[in-house]
Amino acid sequence: MKKVLGWIILILVIFVVGLWIENQIRKIEIKNKPPIVESTIQKEKVTVLRVIDGDTIELIDGRKVRYIGVDSPETGSKNFLKSKIANQKLVEKKTVQLEKDVSDTDKYSRLLRYVWIDDKFINLEMIKNGMARVATFPPDIKYAQLFLSAEKEARMNQ
């Protein structure tokens, strides 16, 4: 029994160390990405019809947009309503600018975009205000380091 328990502990330690190493490699990869010059970026201006949740909106033309790099509480989970209301205050019935990264849509056919109102970066605001957490998926990692820094600061400020 002690031998089996020892093997289980060893496997768990190897697994945790592997996750830590993977995380460190990911941080290095993100850090070494060359910056993209903002002036070359095309942004599409659109009006938000409604907010679906803390990281998804519906546009007046019926398209749905999923914020890149963030994940908010899902329907029925703790803080769902708080996150949705925060997003509504930021974007509902307002004209926003959509910025594409690499991917165009997700598996649900939602547009994947960074969302701006003038100089206010909505994806970042949701993280800064603790209404969403960072969830980056390559190749759409343009602002990943910025998001991670904001999340760290939000956690420190509770």
**What tens-digit pLDDT sequence spans the chain (158 residues)?**
777 777 878 786 787 666 677 777 676 655 555 444 444 567 999 999 999 999 999 999 999 999 999 999 999 999 999 999 999 999 999 999 999 999 999 999 999 999 999 999 999 999 999 999 999 999 999 999 999 999 999 999 88
133 is catalytic: no
155 is catalytic: no
Catalytic residue among 22, 29, 74, 153: 74
Q: Domain residue spans in the chain?
A: 1-32, 38-156
Overall CATH class of domain 38-156:
mainly beta
- Distance from C-alpha of 101 to C-alpha of 137, rounded to nearest angstrom: 11
74 is catalytic: yes
